[in-house]
Structure 1
Amino acid sequence: MKKGIQFIVLTCLVSWTIAGVAIGLGLHEAKGLSYTVFAATYMLLPAICVIILQKLHKEKLFSNLNISFRFNRWFLVAGVIPILYAFITLGINLFFPNVSFSVNYEGLLSSLPAEQATLVAERLSKFPPVVFLLINLVQVIIAGCTINAFFAFGEELGWRGYLLKALKGKKFLSVSLITGFIWGLWHFPLILIGHNYPQHPITGVGMMTIWCILLSPVITYIVIKSKSVITAAIYHGTLNAIAGIGVLYLVGGNDLTNGVTGIAGFITLLLINIAFFFYDRYITKENIFTKEIGEF
């Protein structure tokens, strides 16, 4: 647990300090190239903190972190579940008041400046909706397993690698709660400048924390079953790639209700967690959900 506390303190201190400097230098909104570069760098900070701590403890770098590329079916699960998550969320969103489905991408276009919206609309009109969706899915799969997974690995080496090992001996749900809470809170500087919840940045800090808590059991379970933190990077990377689908076809609602990080996404995550629990309890009968986390 001592190493876990060290990781949490160091990661938050380093990350929030760098975020504070960036905001102080003029990064005031989650838009544009400068923010993209900053956010990508921010995602790598937990991994950098892992390296620092392993150096301080005179451990072999990247040892005992379950970095394994040995393929098993849970690698596929890690890539498929985020896609299902996004589409189920889209369906649930349609039951919300004043929210409707549109293949005219009104939700996307309304969020863009007028000139950019016109240009994007012209480009989108060249593709039938089904073709555009298929192109997007191919891009999601490729990005989720490559560039997105690389940057997601920067986070996951910390949360589901080092911290998960440091919390060994604690109950699965306790570990998921601790990890999810810290992971969500770690995002707060990004949320305050408009990441994920540009319409509600203050409320968004709490929303992001709840979302990470709900997401944590699923990713942690996949890592334990796959015996590899790489699956967490694939899941995280694919989710980042597919997240936009959840709002691309919607009209109405807002950032607190729509998409994978909105209330609709929360409902979907609850359903996914329940499905994983029943799978664990009645199909595999391993009962990971109710056990302490050991070596894996």
Structure 2
Amino acid sequence: MLSKKVLQFILLTFLITWSVALAAYLLHIPYGSILFFIIIAVGYMPAPAYATLILQKLVYRETLKPYGFTLKNISLRWLLITTVGFAWFIVLGTFVVIAILGNVFGVTLFGRIDFSEAAFLHQLTVFARGAFGDVPQHLPIPPLAIFLLSMVQGVIAGFTFNLPFTFGEELGWRGLLLRETQKSGFVKSNLFIGVVWGLWHAPIILQGHNYPGHPVAGIFMMTLFTTALSFPMAYCRFKSRSILGPSALHGMFNPLGVLTVFFVVGANPLFGFVAGLAGIAVILLLTIGICLFDKKFLREYQTL
């Protein structure tokens, strides 16, 4: 049975976020505009943190330390393994899945990996839609070099620019909600968090976020993705011993996930995408690895 605090958190978080989304819709603020993303960054993404602060500080008058809001006992070794290691494994693994299913077996829904300059410039033209001005006719460096540099830049972004925004989510999901449902065990706790996390995205998925052209199926796929991702995110939270871990890992997914946009041609976003079936399959493989190689973590999960 869910605790009173968990129910309060969910209701308050959804009230804040969905009110922000409704206001943007009623004011006819177009998805993709600068104003829309400012509203999302300030009002929508930090809503789980707002709800956590309101409940923990104003209602229950307790500390945030149980929710990982501390750097005192952080494990730098596990921080790097469960952020950089996990992020690169998931992204590179997604490309491997697409290469096998798309390039080798010709499953068109997964698209195909293409590191040619022509393909990259075409994808840039489609994706940018004039946002970055005129697309150059030639690249200063090979697309593969851009890919490798982007892998490094994605990690840096996760620890810097993206961190304040993803912290706004993670203080709620891997902070309050994880701690308050931890007693139900690794599987039940993270299945629940994943479903809540996925449905929380519904208003922006309906507007085309992540799965353009698939508003309803996108909500379902996003929920599958967040549910799968909740397990390694929880592992990251407890092994790093700080909310910084999942916040940084979360912050790496946006820039690294975009790589499939530029280097995968002709994919359906429900399939050939980090947040699609290709990425979900890799995340499930990672979770299986956690369960097989760190059974002590599973045994002690409820008391960590």
TM-score, normalising length: structure 1: 0.90
Q: CA deviation at 1:117?
A: 8.3
Q: 1:291 to 1:79 in 2, by over 3 A?
A: same
Equivalent residue, structure 2, for 1:101: 113
Equivalent residue, structure 1, for 2:144: 130
Q: 1:131 to 1:75 in 2, by over 3 A?
A: same
1:86 and 1:259 in contact (8 A); partners too: no
SS of equivalent residue, structure 2 residue 134:
helix
CA distance in 2, matches of 1:170, 1:273: 18
Among the aligned pairs, what percent are the same residue? 33
Q: CA deviation at 1:108?
A: 3.7
CA distance in 2, matches of 1:230, 1:55: 20
Paired residue type of 2:259: I
Q: Does 1:76 align with 2:77?
A: no
Unaligned runs of 5+ in 2: none
CA distance in 1, matches of 2:125, 2:291: 39
Q: CA deviation at 1:182?
A: 0.3
Q: CA deviation at 1:135?
A: 2.9
Q: 1:151 to 1:72 in 2, by over 3 A?
A: same
1:148 and 1:241 in contact (8 A); partners too: no
Q: Does 1:85 align with 2:87?
A: no
2:45 and 2:168 in contact (8 A); partners too: yes
Paired residue type of 2:189: V
Q: 1:229 to 1:172 in 2, by over 3 A?
A: same
User: What per-residue deviation string (whole Å, max 9, x for no partner) do you get for residues 183-202 of structure 1?
Assistant: 00000001000110112111
Which of these residues, 149, 164, 176, is aligned with residue 178 of structure 2? Answer: 164
Which of these residues, 120, 133, 144, is aligned with residue 135 of structure 2? Answer: 120
Equivalent residue, structure 1, for 2:262: 248
Q: CA deviation at 1:61?
A: 5.0
Q: CA deviation at 1:174?
A: 0.6
Q: CA deviation at 1:287?
A: 4.5
SS of equivalent residue, structure 1 residue 228:
coil
Equivalent residue, structure 1, for 2:127: 111
Equivalent residue, structure 1, for 2:21: 19
Q: CA deviation at 1:59?
A: 1.8
Q: Does 1:37 align with 2:38?
A: yes
Q: CA deviation at 1:100?
A: 2.1
Paired residue type of 1:272: L
SS of equivalent residue, structure 2 residue 274:
coil
Paired residue type of 1:91: V
Q: CA deviation at 1:93?
A: 1.2
2:79 and 2:239 in contact (8 A); partners too: no
TM-score, normalising length: structure 2: 0.88
CA distance in 1, matches of 2:282, 2:231: 13
CA distance in 1, matches of 2:78, 2:172: 20
SS of equivalent residue, structure 2 residue 184:
coil
Q: 1:258 to 1:109 in 2, by over 3 A?
A: farther
Equivalent residue, structure 2, for 1:293: 302
CA distance in 1, matches of 2:291, 2:206: 34
**Count of residue pairs the alignment pairs up:** 287
CA distance in 2, matches of 1:127, 1:72: 34
Q: 1:126 to 1:56 in 2, by over 3 A?
A: same
Q: 1:80 to 1:38 in 2, by over 3 A?
A: farther
Paired residue type of 2:114: S
Which of these residues, 165, 174, 180, is aligned with residue 151 of structure 1? Answer: 165
Paired residue type of 1:19: A
Q: Out of 61-70 and 74-83, give the one that drifted further.
A: 61-70
Q: CA deviation at 1:63?
A: 3.6
1:170 and 1:292 in contact (8 A); partners too: no
User: What per-residue deviation string (whole Å, max 9, x for no partner) do you get for residues 184-235 of structure 1?
Assistant: 0000001000110112111101110111000001100111122211101011
Equivalent residue, structure 1, for 2:273: 259
1:83 and 1:238 in contact (8 A); partners too: no
CA distance in 2, matches of 1:134, 1:258: 20
Unaligned runs of 5+ in 1: none
CA distance in 1, matches of 2:56, 2:75: 27
Q: CA deviation at 1:253?
A: 1.8
SS of equivalent residue, structure 2 residue 97:
helix
